[in-house]
Every structure is written in structure tokens, then in C-alpha cells.
Structure 1
């Protein structure tokens, strides 16, 4: 007598596999949708900057000695040179920029003024990845690339929008903002990667050390000429003081 083996097959097995794949498909679609929403949301945080009125400048910029030096192609022999210290978390720095940047630009372009803009990050209170540092890193990437128009408009935007963006922007946001303002692709990706953050920490630390060595304290905004504070009752008058 021969024996016949009988295999019992689960009638629901095929249906179970189909259901499993359906669940996986739903999860993948959800992940794509969520990713799209997140990326779209990041873009919307900065896309309004594309509508900002862009200021064209006719001076040059050079990065070195922990500063961005702004000067005309052929400044006057008697041009005044100053160090402007600012922190991207400092509301007084933002106010000073709003009040005096236009006058400063005109003086630089006329060849009467040379400005070394020196970033600080003392308002990060020791946080190596704080807002001041990341903002300085983003601006540093633009300055190193020599994109002067972008630098001038980007710096202004970060100071003017300070109240709304303080401690809210990631490196992606800083990168997207630079892109909206016309930064090159290489600069945008450098900001996005955060690779300039360490260098920005070194730069701001060096500037703080320089400021303390020359004046005995670190604060912002400060304008120094020949290592000494420009003496004015109101710092918004510093340009009148040094030019007149």
C-alpha cells in the first residue's frame, strides 16, 4: 500500500502577503508625503526673502584677518578705516545697521571710508552651535567666496529679520535664505553642511579677544578707530564723527 502525503495550505497566506505589501506601500507613500511637506515648509520659511529689494553695491569685499573688509577699488589716501563689531543676536546691532548702512555704503563707495566688519558670538553664551555662530558661519561662507552683493544683502537680511529668526533657523534655513538672495550653489551647500561653523567659532573668538585686548571689554555694537572706540553720545552718529 502506498501512502500519500497531504499538505494543508493556509488559504489566507496569499492574502496575508498582499496585505503586508499594501501596508508597506502605504508607509512609503506617507514617508514621501511627510518629507515633501517638511521640505516645502523649510522653503516657505525663507522664500519671502526673494521679494526683498536687492541693494547693488559698487565697492569690493575681501575676507582676511577675521574680518570682511569693505572698500572702494581706489579709496582716498586719507580714507578713514574702522572696525565694526557686531553680533547677529544683538538687537542694537540690528538697529544700528538699519540706521546707518545706507550712509556707510555711500561713504565706502565714495572712497572716504574703509570698514572691517568683525563678527562676534558672545551672545551665544558659550553655545558652540548658537544662533550668532551659525549666522556668522553662513555669512562667512558668502564672504570667503567674494560674492559682495550677496554678502551685503544677506548680512542686512539676517540683522533685519533677527527678531523673527533668532534661534529658529537651522543650517538648511540659512542655506535656503542665501539661495533666495542669489548665493552660488557651492556657497549654499557649504552653508547647508555646516562646515563653516567651527571656523566661525574661531573667528568670533579671535575678534572677541582683539576687542577685549584693545578696550578691556566685549560688547556690541562697537566701532573702533586705531584701536579705540569712536567717541559719540549715540553710536548711530559714528559715521558723522569719523567723516567730519
Structure 2
């Protein structure tokens, strides 16, 4: 005759103890994976060498203005709207940042980079996602005027978007800034930045874009309140990837 064992009886303690050990092992493994991910989140930045940049940077009212001493009165100016979580923004940066840098350094172009966070959600004033964190951290970095770190870090964050957008926090952005050469006081100011600064920056830029064009999306290039390329440019076969050529021709 078979006998059903009472799990609460003394003989069941071994089973309970075994389950407990298994749960502890699982917790340790998960903890190690999370810790190891954090430890290596900026390792790839450490292996990179920051590229020299021959331009200046100023931060004002949500805009990060990039220009060179060669710029003159009448030099074309554009607003570049981007969201650090936007795949198309990363694609545009990869396709046109080289041309943009050369045009700025040659004094042929002034760019006001305006960061958005609408990909975090509709309530852009109360977000805590990656786009908002990036807006807060990068605006704080921009206040320092350290253009070399800003340019190289922005490039890295966009080119490695799939990796950093899913794993980086403000502290990681600050650590990456340090790897690119930012001073310790700048790194500390990034780490201590209030995420609400990101919401404020994004809201300012969202409202400006919406007011001038009637819609919000990214990436966008806006000159004198109008999108580039224009309808006429598009009919001539131009697209967003040609924006530097269109603006500086």
C-alpha cells in the first residue's frame, strides 16, 4: 500500500532546504549578472580616443549652440531636433555629423542642438526614461562648455544607441564623460543633475518645434521656422540626409 508523505513532516525538511538553497543560488546569479552589466556598461568607452573638435559650445534656453570663430554675421543657423532614443536620429547622425562638423568648423554653419524626450511618453514634463536622463545629463555637460567631451559623447551615445538606451543611467553618462576627458567637477555636476532639468529642456524644445511647424517628431532640421528639406528641395531629389548641403549652398 502506497503512503503519501506529509510535506510538513520531518522527512519533508530536506526538500524545503533544497528549494531554499536553489533560490539562493538563483538570486546570487541574477545579482552577479546585474552587477557585471553595470560594471561593464562604459568599458567600451574606455577603449576610445576622443577626437579633436574645432568649435565652441554654449547652452541657453534648451539649446546647445555649436559654432566656430570663423562664423560671421549672416552665417546660416539651424535647429537640430533629436531624441537620444530615436533610431532615425542615430541614422541621421551617422550620415551627416561629419559634414555638419566640417561646415561648423569652416564657419559656414551654426547649429542649435535641441534635445527632445517624447519617446519616453506623452507626458513629457514628468518623464524619467532614458531620453529624459540623456537630456538632463547632456544639457548639464553643455553648461561646462567642454565641447570635445560633448561632441564625442553625443556621437558615442547615438552610434551605440541600442546598447546604451537600454542600460545607461545618468551616472553612466557621467562616467562616460569622464572617460572622454571631462573634468571631475563637470562629472560630479552631471551625476548630481536633477532629472527634472531634462524634462524642462525637452518641454522648451517641444513647444518651440510645435509652435513653428505644427508637429513634433525627430530628427528634424528647422531653419527660419521651416523644415529642411523644403518641398521644393524634395522635388529636386533632396532628402534629410542632404540637409547640410542644402543649408550651406
In the superposition, the TM-score normalised over structure 2's length comes to 0.79
Question: Max radius of gyration: which structure?
Answer: 1
Distance 2:37 2:242 in 1: 41
Partners of 2:49 and 2:92 lie apart in 1 by: 19
- Say how many residue pairs are matched: 211
Listed as ranges, the gaps of 5+ residues in structure 1 are 1-34
Pick aligned residue for 1:236 from 206, 229, 241: 241
Cα gap change, 1:166/1:241 in structure 2, threshold over 3 Å: closer, same or farther?
same
After TM superposition, give the deviation of residue 41 of structure 1 in Å: 5.0
Q: Counterpart in 2 of 1:165?
A: 164
Do the aligned partners of 1:47 and 1:180 also contact (CA within 8 Å) in 2?
no
| Conserved 8 A contact 1:42-1:172 | no
- Aligned match of 1:219 in 217, 220, 227? 217
Question: What's 1:175 paired with?
Answer: 174
RMSD: 2.2
SS in 2 for 1:111: coil
Whole-Å separation in 1 of the counterparts to 2:183 and 2:94: 26
Q: Distance in 2 between matches of 1:103 and 1:145?
A: 25
Residues 110-130 of structure 1 deviation map (CA, whole Å, 9 limit, x = unaligned): 111000000000000036111
Paired position in structure 2 for 1:60: 56
TM-superposed CA distance for 1:104, in Å, is 0.5
CA contact (8 A) 2:136 2:201 kept: no
**Structure 2 unpaired stretches of 5+:** 1-30
Deviation string 1:94-139 (CA, Å, 9 cap, x unpaired) is: 0111111111011001111000000000000036111101011111
For residues 117-174 of structure 1, what are the alpha-carbon distances to aligned partners after superposition, in whole Å with 9 as ceiling and x for unaligned? 0000000003611110101111112101110100101111111111112232122222
| TM-score using structure 1 length | 0.80
